[in-house]
Amino acid sequence: MRGERELNRASWRRVVRLIGLVIIVVIAAMLIPAASAPRTSEHYVALGDSRAAGPSTLRFLNDSCGRTAASYPRLISEWLQPEFFLFAACSGAKVENIIDTPQETRSGGGRPLQIDSVTSETTLITISIGGNDVRWYDIARRCFTREEGDDRECRNDPETRLAAMESLRPLRPRLDRLLGELRARAPQALIFLASHGGTVGDGGCWPEVPASDEDAAFIAQYQDDMNDIIRAAARYAGVNYVDLAAHSVGHDACQPRHRKWYEGNVTTSTSLSMHPNNNGNAAFAEIFKEEIKKEFRRRVR
């Protein structure tokens, strides 16, 4: 009988230990959210061109739109962990490719309209657009020299100044239409429209920005004029303007590799020339995140 009672006590102790273990596991599971569960209920859609796509010279990282894991929308999504994320941005896109004209890509054929990713359930939209609409690089390269130390004096060329002014003229009505369409499709969404600029600072450098200091300042002013239009369109539509250019001062393509957020005409990284590099993409994500957090705080008041 004693042996039987001791055996029963041992069995009971094992059962108690097992129950305790199960309770601990259950509590741990409740405290630690599942990796696949979203941290937020946001429905996030990223629209735009290559500044959003984050293209790389490493082809195996690219799709037909040049979207990469280093792009700021991907980094925002990793931070936000939304319930739904659709990365619709595509390198080379113009406003028309978001709203009414399917974009033709070199390797992937026609792309669907980016705006088709936006629905009434969309709660967050980020956009980088406009550089291809105004063909800003075509204006900039009018100032580039073939030899170090030369000065094209594009700033004093009437044709270049007229071309710069004319390139900006259609941007505002295009942005007004885009933002109006987005408002109609996603009336509850927080919309964040990014500035352009930052690639060229107030001076040139060979060979990254092969222009005289005076011509580089002309290019920088041209991009400032572009951002004035983007900012005004954002204000008119009641969306959030994200001033990436202002934060980019001191991080242009002429800065040392560890400090610059952009590649120049000659790239020193795996990012494409005249595009943000991974430092820039990471910085952009942080800037967007701060703006998003501000709006989230306002929304819950």
- Indicate which residues carry an active-site annotation: 50, 275
Phi/psi at 110 (5° precision): -75, 140
Give the distance, in angstroms, between the CA of residue 36 and the centroid of all CA atoms in the same chain.
24
| Whether 262 contacts 281, CB under 8 Å | no
The two structure tokens encoding residue 56: 């790389």
- DSSP-H helix ranges across the chain: 2-31, 50-53, 72-80, 95-99, 131-134, 136-140, 158-168, 171-185, 213-237, 244-247, 278-299
Query: Is the peptide bond preceding residue 207 cis, with omega within 30 degrees of 0?
Result: yes
| Whether 230 contacts 241, CB under 8 Å | yes
**Which residues 6+ apart lie within 8 Å of 108 measured at CB?**
63, 64, 65
| Whether 186 contacts 120, CB under 8 Å | yes
